[in-house]
Amino acid sequence: MSSLIVPPILTSPRDDAIKLHGAFKGWGCDTAVVIDILAHRDAIQRALIQQDYRAMYSEDLCKRLSSELSGKLEMAVLLWMHDPAGRDAVVMRNSLTTGSLKAATEVICSRTPSQIQLIRQHYHSKFGVHLEDDIKRHTSGDHEKLLLAYVSPPWNEGLEVDRQMVENDAKALYKAGEKRLGTDERTFIRIFCERSRAHLAYVAPVYHSMHGNSLKKVVKKETSGNFEYGLLTILKCSENPAKYFAKVWARTILHW
């Protein structure tokens, strides 16, 4: 969930905190004021508002928002209050602990290595448990192995591409899937998690050129469930991350 455009004229964080406190008074909450302020501030500005609110009213703004709001509005506003890595950590924690694993899979498999490092730090800081431990506790099988491999170092974020390695990986994936009876999931996990996005972006077309089939179709045929969803997310983000996130954003708007 991204922040909305910040208007050119802004009040100070202190003034915003005062207006929010006023919106909580009386019968019910003036949700229009809450949305008008928080939906038009970026992560840094919202953090400053929280600081000033606590200093003036000795109260945590997020807790007050949670008590004043409900439903999808409450969820959206509370997610706004986090910076991107903190928001990802909250989404993943909720997803893992409620058993609705698709959201956690999507967040993990669509983030870059540097983003994953920040998320891991926020996750441990907020919840007192390592992300890897929660993955082990709440997932299983090849899905668990994929997520653990993807959030664990070493990470490769380089832009260099070795043509020979690309061809070797395309051959290895063919042998692990289409060529054999059954699927060698370990090979898919190793290549999809250990290679950079730049490298995987070349593997897909080379695979098609060498073996006459789409790598996405192979993943769909050879795997299933959240494991399939994670592999496809990694592949789509390597090929065109902007297109992937545009579709996610459009899907989110329709859902809301």
Q: What would the 3-class secondary structure string for 62-93 be?
A: HHHHHHHCCHHHHHHHHHHCCCHHHHHHHHHH
Q: How far apart are CA 71 and CA 184, in angstroms?
A: 43
Q: Which of 113, 77, 81, 109 is nearest to 95 (CA)?
A: 109
pLDDT of 176 higher than 90: yes
Joined together, the tokens standing for residue 119 give 């998320």
pLDDT digits (tens, 9 = 90+) for 53-70: 999 999 999 889 989 998
The token duo for 135 is: 């993955």
As given in the structure block, the two tokens for residue 234 are 């990694």
pTM of the model: 0.81
Instruction: State the average pLDDT over residues 102-129.
Output: 94
**Which residue is associated with the tokens 């190793």?**
190
Cα 76 to the center of its chain, rounded Å? 15
Query: Average pLDDT in the 138-149 region?
Result: 97
227-249, pLDDT tens digit by residue?
A: 999 999 999 999 998 888 888 77
The Cα-based distances of 170 to 90, 165, 184 in angstroms read 36, 9, 14
Residue 16 has pLDDT above 80, yes or no: yes
Q: What is the pLDDT of residue 94?
A: 92
Pick the closest to residue 41 from 77, 72, 94 (CA basis): 77
